Chain A
Amino acid sequence: MFSLDLFLNALVAGVLLGGFYAAVSLGISIAFGLLDVVNIGHPIFVILGSYAAFVLNDAYGLDPLLSGVLFAPVFFLIGVVVYQVYYLSFERKGESPLRGLVFFFGLLFIIEVALLLKFGVDYRLIEAPYIGRSIHIGEVGIAFRLLVPCVVGLLMTLAITQFLSRTFYGRAIKGVAQDSLALRLMGIDPVRIKTIAFGLGIATASVAGALLIMISPVEPSIGRAYIGRVFAIAVLGGLGSIGGTLTAALILGIAESLTATFSGPSWSLAVSFGILLLVLAVRPAGLFGR
């Protein structure tokens, strides 16, 4: 049963969801798209970010966005350590990326279990004054708990894009997977660049996690649902293109929202894998791919 109101509402919710998905996918776009590091464990860092926001909110009533930003440097350091371990155990030895995949998959489960032991299986949520509110434009309702993540996601994407194109580190990050010897011949240490970039990717998970717990309650295993999404977005957007990631995130958000509205929420998870398969079959380079 189709109605225009329903469609418009679903469309707007999809766009808002897309902005949030962009925030979740940034880390994958950097690690997988720019560094050739298949960090399949990225979603669990997002969940970790959610729990960080939850703990501070629960104890001190701290705004989730604030804790997302506060924890970003800590997450950056976690990323630095994770990359160093990955580099020393796999990349430096020239191991195939497939083994790295196993490493990150293992990391995902270890962190998930750790969270489970610490916080249990209960859904956790946070409180902030704006979370329950919404604005209405005609028949279309815009919930703040979706609007805020979308705006923050867009800002974060913009910030990363600017960083990559305007700074020495940023340009080096964009080039590091293309030819690391060429970088060394310009006086750049590629391992250092990759470490910084990976740390940056994990730092985005701190903010993305805070956004996630704003949108819906969180328990340790829901990160798995995001593995398909983030890879679908990274591949659809085209590896190495942050602008492509944003476009792809919006497309997936809208597709999921429309599917959930008209066919039921249980189908929405299938959308991301459907898109992933379709892109790999039709245009493996993605929308803006290399």
Chain B
Amino acid sequence: MANRIVVRDVEAGYGGVRVLHGVSMHVEDGETVVLLGTNGNGKSTLMKCIMGIVQPDAGEIFLEVDGRRFDLAGRRPEEIVQLGVTLVPEGRRLLPRLTVRENLLLGAYRAEARRDIARNLEFCLEAFPVLAERQKQLAGSMSGGEQQMLAIARALMSTPRILLVDEPSVGLAPILVSRVIAKIRELKEKRDLTVLMAEQNFNQAVKIADRGYVIVHGRIEFEGESTQKLAEHELVRKYYLGL
């Protein structure tokens, strides 16, 4: 099954403030693509546009599943999830007063994911032993790192064709960031995921990325065909590596 997502000339913003100025990018089947940018450059807005939380003012966003094209612009977030695009949102957005298990099961609400629920649950509990131990604990009572793991596991419960991850490192201690990133890499290998990750922590992001984009003030300033090329680019060296 070949899935890809394409963003073409997207303009978007909030009220009168334009955040994205003609952004184009694409994620191909089986790739892990990183969207690099510091705060306020439009990473999250682009993620929100893909998910239908923010509607683009111009341009197109579409998902291709085995050559069939689904336009995402104009659809509501719940419809986009039903098509197989799942976001691990910034700030995780768990349901704090539901248990870990209830959060996971809700992740499988998507019609196509329901038949996989037993297999997915087993996979998630095996991949995240900490969640297996705490199935009955309230999600809100867990530490930040554990919550991030739960947010990722919950997204996997939906059997996503494309997984979007918005800033998994925010609010986590460096050691936990490493663990979360390592976990995403492990999952990607085990499940053949197609991933688009927004991140500002370059050193962590390149550990798992196949290639990436650098977004500055709402424009894609550089497209790196490989992590090597990204690391060599002057923008990255200046802003993310401090060289």
Contact = CB atoms under 8 A, between A and B. Distances in A.
Given A172-B106, A174-B102, A189-B78, A182 B97 contact: no
Contact of A184 (B77, B95, B105): B77
B24 to A, nearest CB: 25
A185 B81 CA distance: 6
Nearest to A192: B78
A269 interface: no
A181 B87 CA distance: 11
Contact of A186 (B76, B97, B109): B109
Contacts of B51: 185
Contacts of A284: none
Given A171-B98, A174-B102, A187-B81, A182 B89 contact: yes
20 contacts: A165-B102, A171-B102, A171-B106, A172-B106, A174-B97, A175-B98, A178-B96, A178-B97, A179-B94, A179-B95, A181-B77, A181-B89, A184-B78, A185-B51, A185-B81, A185-B87, A186-B109, A187-B111, A187-B158, A188-B109
Interface string B50-67: 010100000000000000
B42 interface: no
B202 to A, nearest CB: 26
Contacts of B78: 184, 187-189
Contact of B110 (A178, A183, A187): A187
B21 interface: no
B160 to A, nearest CB: 10
A168 B107 CA distance: 10
Chain A contact patch, size range? 10 to 19
A17 B108 CA distance: 40
B191 to A, nearest CB: 18
Nearest to B76: A184
Given A185-B93, A186-B106, A188-B106, 18 more contacts: A168-B106, A168-B108, A171-B106, A179-B94, A179-B95, A182-B94, A182-B95, A183-B95, A184-B78, A184-B81, A185-B51, A185-B86, A185-B89, A186-B109, A187-B78, A187-B82, A189-B76, A290-B97
A86 to B, nearest CB: 21
B109 A175 contact: no
A175 B94 CA distance: 10
Interface in A209-241: 240
Closest 8 CB pairs of A and B: A187-B81, A182-B93, A175-B95, A184-B77, A187-B110, A178-B95, A184-B78, A187-B82
Given A185-B89, A187-B158, A189-B78, A171 B105 contact: yes
A57 B168 CA distance: 62
A181 B53 contact: yes
A139 B81 CA distance: 63
Interface of A: 165, 168, 171-172, 174-175, 178-179, 181-189, 240, 290
A178 B99 CA distance: 13
Contact of B154 (A168, A186, A189): A186
B114 interface: yes
Contacts of B154: 186
A179 B51 CA distance: 17
Interface residues of B, number: 27
A238 to B, nearest CB: 11
Given A171-B102, A174-B102, A182-B89, A187 B95 contact: no
Given A171-B105, A174-B102, A186 B158 contact: yes
B76 A178 contact: no
B85 to A, nearest CB: 10
A178 B93 CA distance: 10
A186 B107 contact: yes
B102 A186 contact: no
B96 A186 contact: no
Nearest to B52: A184
Contact of B106 (A175, A181, A189, A290): A175
A168 B97 contact: no
Contacts of A168: 105-106, 108-109, 114
Contacts of B105: 168, 171
Contacts of B97: 174, 178, 240, 290
Contacts of A188: 78, 106, 109
Nearest to B82: A187
Interface string B84-128: 001101000111111000100111111100100000000000000
A168 B115 CA distance: 13
